[in-house]
């Protein structure tokens, strides 16, 4: 069973635990002996099952269970054991006809177990990993406060006093109870106060991942880390103006979209270059009030060209402009998009493609070369600006390259039918000895790119996205027949595709190691409390930055505790995939800039820090990033003049 299923099962069992403990408490208070006994037995059984599910999840990784093992379960097991001891014997004798099974102590203890069960579940959903002293103290004091209040309701002091008047020995019982009430109350208030106080301690602003801290190196500003002013020998300068503006765009089907565009087009103008060319793009903003930038997704530009507002530049407001300049040294399929309020801007159309061909034309033989950004507008998949199906003619034997780019925030399921093919490149980087495959489906992460190559057969080839048979792309050879598109194809696992090769560093021997546990929870996002998408329990910009030094080999462990997919994306560097769920990558070295961490998965990746700057490191589901799932990787000695209180808070 997958970790995701165990996570779901554990949530269900935890919820059942809450229900059964409350049922036991309420029926006991109502002195319904039989139902109370049944509910108590059920609660105990469910609690034991919970111990098993948590144990299994612990085997999948400490991150999945830390708060359950250290707080939720111990609290529940202790309260539950107390409840069984206090309520159990009376219930048993009541079942045999002696007494009514109820007692104030029994009711209070069973309900306390219910509070503990509920508190554990709430901590898992609102706080998660890592558990802090603050959370533990506040939770325990809330459960104890619940127990004390319940005791007052179940055995009110007024009744006690009346009883004490009747029986003199009752007085002692009452003063004992008062003592418990007062000291218990004081302890609860103290613990809650301490927990709350601790939660206000400022968080560290940077983590070092086991490496040295900041050095006294002379600082360099990201504003000075700009691209080269000239092309490589033989290269040319590719100049382009991109004007961000609102426009009504008419799709081939006739449908009109109120879009945000570069130059009035969606996608924006396709940028192509030959390796070594200088790309110079003048970005102007006509009327996007929020401001815009250009981020070169997957392209390892110098940091000052990266387009991260509040980090590498200020957002470009209406009437303003910014010039990006960098040398196209990296070959492959990339894309560009705004990085300011990008959950809105990219979604509405502020994106385009960037393709760099090798110099010397190793790929001149490619006669059909299609760049296919896949974007969803109002529920309709639009491929390279067309909704509905696109048809192409390709003479049999023609080499074909399809460059798929996912510009959405969710993954797409891609099927290429009618021909065997190879996945030549992932995220712009060529794979080593990619073998021919057919009858497989491809899972393309948000932000990711796949280059598929094949020789055109006589018959037709179909490219189908998200099982939409009416849309997509058709390539026709001589034979006009339709390609058969199969259902339920197995997914091509890129961790086992292609052949291994040497990689430029030893990832086992990393200089720094950072763990990012992805989840949902209550956290501050841009100064406001929110039900956020969190990294290690925090939201942007309170997630500590990651410090690296130039030349470091850096390793990331990315764990997904949530039930949503998180396409993880580091700017400025491709990362090498080491393993998924502990299973090493055994195929071609896989260098990516975005990798999908699906629910319950744990990924290990590594990279060498060779591109100084301050780089965004975030989930490329852009609404998630906007809701907190975003942090920064800082090179030692690099500073930014753009991180004022304003710019820094609206990076996405
Ligand atoms: Cu394509 Cu920070 O993004
Ligand atoms: Cu996400």
* Tens of pLDDT, residues 37-56: 999 999 999 999 999 999 99
| Radius of gyration for the alpha carbons in the chain, expressed in angstroms and rounded | 30
Q: Examine the pLDDT at 621 and tell me if it is beyond 90.
A: yes
**Terminal Cα-to-Cα distance of the chain (whole angstroms):** 36
Mean pLDDT of all residues in 369-391:
95
Q: How far apart are CA 413 and CA 444, in angstroms?
A: 6
Strands 512-525 and 528-535: antiparallel
| CA 311 / ligand 1 centre spacing (Å) | 13
pLDDT for residue 29: 93
∠ CA 55-51-584, rounded to 5°: 15
- Please state which of the ranges 194-198, 232-236, 408-412, 549-553 shows the lowest mean pLDDT: 194-198
Percent of the chain with pLDDT over 70: 95
Mean pLDDT of all residues in 604-624:
98
| CA 157 / ligand 2 centre spacing (Å) | 52
What number does the ligand 1 atom closest to the CA of 571 have? 2
Provide the pLDDT confidence category of residue 451 given band limits of 50, 70 and 90.
very high
| CA 468 / ligand 1 centre spacing (Å) | 27
pLDDT for residue 172: 74
pLDDT for residue 365: 61
CA distances from residue 92 to 37, 46, 101, 114 in whole angstroms, order as listed = 8, 20, 7, 20
- Please state which of the ranges 25-34, 93-102, 336-345 shows the lowest mean pLDDT: 93-102
Contact 62, 120 (CB under 8 A): no
pLDDT for residue 361: 64
| CA 525 / ligand 2 centre spacing (Å) | 15
pLDDT for residue 477: 85
Ligand nearest to C-alpha 298:
1
Contact 423, 492 (CB under 8 A): yes
What number does the ligand 1 atom closest to the CA of 337 have? 1
CA distances from residue 269 to 107, 178, 239, 297 in whole angstroms, order as listed = 70, 77, 12, 15
**CA-wise closest residue to 269 among 357, 346, 334, 351:** 351
∠ CA 270-451-343, rounded to 5°: 55
Alpha helices in 478-603 (DSSP H): none
User: With 0-12 CB in 10 A as exposed, 13-18 as middle and 19+ as buried, what is 488?
Assistant: exposed
**CA-wise closest residue to 267 among 405, 367, 402:** 405
| CA 339 / ligand 1 centre spacing (Å) | 7
What number does the ligand 1 atom closest to the CA of 308 have? 2
What is the residue-wise DSSP string for 178-199? HHHHHHHHHHHHHHHHHHHHHH
CB neighbours of residue 204 within 10 Å:
9
pLDDT for residue 366: 62
pLDDT for residue 216: 81
Q: Examine the pLDDT at 648 and tell me if it is beyond 60.
A: no
Q: How far apart are CA 452 and CA 457, in angstroms?
A: 15
**CA-wise closest residue to 577 among 421, 429, 452:** 429
Q: 3-class DSSP state for residue 251? A: coil
Q: Examine the pLDDT at 134 and tell me if it is beyond 60.
A: yes
How is the chain split among helix, strand and coil, in percent rounded to 5?
Answer: 30, 30, 40
Strands 321-327 and 575-580: unpaired
Give φ, ψ of 352 to 5 degrees.
Answer: -160, 180
| CA 433 / ligand 1 centre spacing (Å) | 29
- Listed as own residue / partner, the contacts of 186-192 with beta carbons closer than 8 Å and 24 or more positions apart are 187/141, 187/144, 188/141, 188/144, 188/145, 188/148, 189/141, 191/137, 191/138, 191/140, 191/141, 191/144, 192/137, 192/138, 192/141, 192/142, 192/145
| CA 571 / ligand 1 centre spacing (Å) | 7
Q: How far apart are CA 121 and CA 73, in angstroms?
A: 10
- Please state which of the ranges 78-82, 106-110, 215-219, 463-467 shows the lowest mean pLDDT: 215-219
| CA 645 / ligand 1 centre spacing (Å) | 21
Q: Examine the pLDDT at 299 and tell me if it is beyond 50.
A: yes
Q: How far apart are CA 29 and CA 22, in angstroms?
A: 11
Question: In the structure encoding, which two tokens stand for residue 116, read together?
Answer: 């503990």
pLDDT for residue 100: 75
What number does the ligand 1 atom closest to the CA of 616 have? 2
What number does the ligand 1 atom closest to the CA of 447 have? 1
DSSP annotation of 489 reads: P
Instruction: List residues near ligand 1 (CB under 6 A).
Output: 295, 297, 337, 339, 447, 569, 571, 616, 618, 620
| CA 560 / ligand 2 centre spacing (Å) | 9
Q: 3-class DSSP state for residue 424? A: strand
What number does the ligand 1 atom closest to the CA of 625 have? 2
| CA 255 / ligand 1 centre spacing (Å) | 28
| pLDDT tens for each residue of 570-604 | 999 999 999 999 999 999 999 999 999 999 999 99
What number does the ligand 1 atom closest to the CA of 346 have? 1
Question: In the structure encoding, which two tokens stand for residue 164, read together?
Answer: 């004490």
CB neighbours of residue 266 within 10 Å:
25
| pLDDT tens for each residue of 428-442 | 999 999 999 999 999
Strands 630-635 and 545-548: parallel
Ligand nearest to C-alpha 343:
1
For ligand 1, atom 3, name the residue with the nearest CA: 297
What number does the ligand 1 atom closest to the CA of 335 have? 1
| CA 538 / ligand 2 centre spacing (Å) | 13
- Higher pLDDT, residue 155 or 450: 450
Instruction: Return left, alpha or beta for 174; rule: phi > 0 is left, psi -120 to 50 is alpha, else beta.
Output: alpha
Ligand nearest to C-alpha 447:
1
pLDDT for residue 517: 98
**CA-wise closest residue to 570 among 637, 632, 516, 506:** 632
Alpha helices in 96-132 (DSSP H): 104-126
| CA 238 / ligand 1 centre spacing (Å) | 23
DSSP annotation of 62 reads: G
Q: Examine the pLDDT at 59 and tell me if it is beyond 50.
A: yes
Q: How far apart are CA 301 and CA 322, in angstroms?
A: 15
- Please state which of the ranges 57-66, 178-187, 327-336, 628-637 shows the lowest mean pLDDT: 178-187
Q: Examine the pLDDT at 362 and tell me if it is beyond 60.
A: no
CB neighbours of residue 149 within 10 Å:
15
Q: Examine the pLDDT at 173 and tell me if it is beyond 80.
A: no
Provide the pLDDT confidence category of residue 647 given band limits of 50, 70 and 90.
very low
| pLDDT tens for each residue of 481-490 | 888 999 899 9
Mean pLDDT of all residues in 265-281:
97
Mean pLDDT of all residues in 154-165:
65
Alpha helices in 61-103 (DSSP H): 66-67, 73-95
Contact 441, 490 (CB under 8 A): yes
pLDDT for residue 78: 97
| CA 599 / ligand 2 centre spacing (Å) | 10
Ligand nearest to C-alpha 623:
2
pTM, two decimal places: 0.93
Ligand nearest to C-alpha 532:
2
Question: In the structure encoding, which two tokens stand for residue 511, read together?
Answer: 């200089």
Q: How far apart are CA 282 and CA 189, in angstroms?
A: 60
Mean pLDDT of all residues in 283-307:
97
pLDDT for residue 652: 45
What number does the ligand 1 atom closest to the CA of 297 have? 1
Q: Examine the pLDDT at 331 and tell me if it is beyond 60.
A: yes
For ligand 1, atom 1, name the residue with the nearest CA: 297
Mean pLDDT of all residues in 100-125:
93
What number does the ligand 1 atom closest to the CA of 618 have? 2
Contact 594, 567 (CB under 8 A): yes
Ligand nearest to C-alpha 534:
2
Ligand nearest to C-alpha 297:
1
């Amino acid at each position: 069973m997958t970790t995701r299923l165990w996570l779901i099962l554990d949530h269900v069992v935890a919820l059942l635990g809450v229900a059964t403990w409350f049922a036991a408490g309420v029926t006991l208070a109502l002195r319904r002996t039989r139902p109370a006994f049944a509910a108590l037995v059920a609660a105990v059984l469910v609690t034991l099952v919970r111990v098993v599910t948590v144990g299994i999840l612990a085997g999948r990784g400490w991150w999945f269970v830390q708060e359950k093992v250290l707080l939720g379960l111990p609290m529940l097991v202790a309260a539950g054991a107390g409840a069984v001891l206090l309520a159990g014997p009376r219930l048993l004798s009541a079942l045999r006809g002696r007494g009514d099974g109820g007692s104030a102590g029994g009711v209070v203890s069973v309900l306390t177990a219910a509070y503990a069960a509920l508190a554990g579940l709430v901590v898992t959903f609102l706080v998660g990993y890592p558990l802090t002293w603050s959370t533990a103290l506040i939770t325990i004091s809330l459960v104890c406060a619940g127990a004390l209040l319940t005791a007052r309701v179940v055995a009110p002091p007024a009744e006690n006093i009346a009883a004490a008047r009747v029986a003199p020995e009752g007085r002692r019982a009452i003063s004992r109870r008062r003592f418990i009430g007062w000291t218990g109350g004081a302890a609860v208030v103290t613990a809650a106060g301490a927990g709350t106080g601790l939660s206000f301690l400022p968080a560290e602003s940077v983590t070092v991942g086991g490496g040295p801290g900041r050095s006294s190196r002379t600082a360099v500003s990201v504003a000075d880390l700009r691209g080269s002013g000239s092309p490589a020998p033989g290269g040319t300068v590719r100049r382009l103006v991109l004007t961000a503006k609102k426009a009504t765009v008419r799709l081939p089907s006739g449908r009109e979209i109120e879009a945000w565009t570069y130059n009035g087009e969606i996608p924006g103008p396709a940028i192509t270059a030959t390796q070594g060319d200088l790309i110079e793009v003048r970005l102007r903003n006509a009327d996007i009030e929020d401001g815009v930038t250009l981020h070169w997704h997957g392209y390892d530009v110098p940091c000052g060209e990266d387009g991260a507002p509040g980090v590498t530049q200020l957002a470009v407001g209406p009437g303003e402009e910014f010039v990006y300049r960098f040398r196209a040294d990296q070959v492959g399929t990339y894309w560009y998009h705004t990085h300011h309020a990008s959950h809105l801007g990219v979604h509405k159309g502020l994106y385009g493609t960037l393709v760099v061909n090798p110099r010397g034309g190793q790929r001149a033989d490619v006669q059909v070369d299609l760049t296919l950004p896949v974007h969803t507008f109002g529920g309709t998949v639009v491929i390279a600006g067309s909704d509905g199906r696109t048809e192409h003619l390709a003479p049999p034997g023609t080499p074909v390259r399809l460059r798929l780019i996912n510009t959405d925030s969710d993954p797409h399921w891609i099927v290429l039918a009618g021909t065997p093919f190879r996945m030549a490149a992932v995220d712009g980087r060529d794979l080593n000895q990619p073998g021919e495959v057919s009858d497989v489906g491809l899972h393309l992460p948000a932000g990711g790119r796949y280059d598929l190559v094949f020789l055109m057969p006589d018959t037709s080839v179909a490219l189908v996205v998200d099982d939409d048979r009416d849309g997509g792309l058709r390539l026709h050879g001589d034979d006009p027949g339709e390609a058969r598109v199969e259902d339920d194809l197995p997914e091509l696992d890129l961790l086992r595709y292609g052949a291994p090769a040497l990689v430029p560093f030893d990832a086992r021997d990393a200089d720094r190691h950072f763990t990012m546990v992805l989840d949902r929870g209550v956290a501050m996002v841009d100064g406001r409390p929110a039900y956020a998408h969190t990294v290690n329990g925090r939201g942007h910009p309170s997630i500590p930055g990651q410090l690296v030094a130039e030349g470091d080999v850096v390793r990331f462990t990315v764990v997904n505790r949530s039930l949503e997919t998180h396409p993880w994306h580091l700017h400025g560097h491709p990362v090498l995939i080491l393993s998924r769920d502990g299973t090493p990558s055994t195929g071609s070295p896989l260098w990516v800039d975005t990798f999908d961490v699906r629910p319950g998965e744990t990924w290990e990746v590594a990279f060498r820090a060779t591109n100084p700057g301050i780089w965004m490191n975030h989930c490329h589901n852009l609404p998630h990033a906007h809701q907190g799932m975003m942090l920064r990787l800082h090179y030692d000695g690099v500073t930014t003049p753009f991180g004022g209180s304003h710019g820094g808070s609206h990076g996405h």
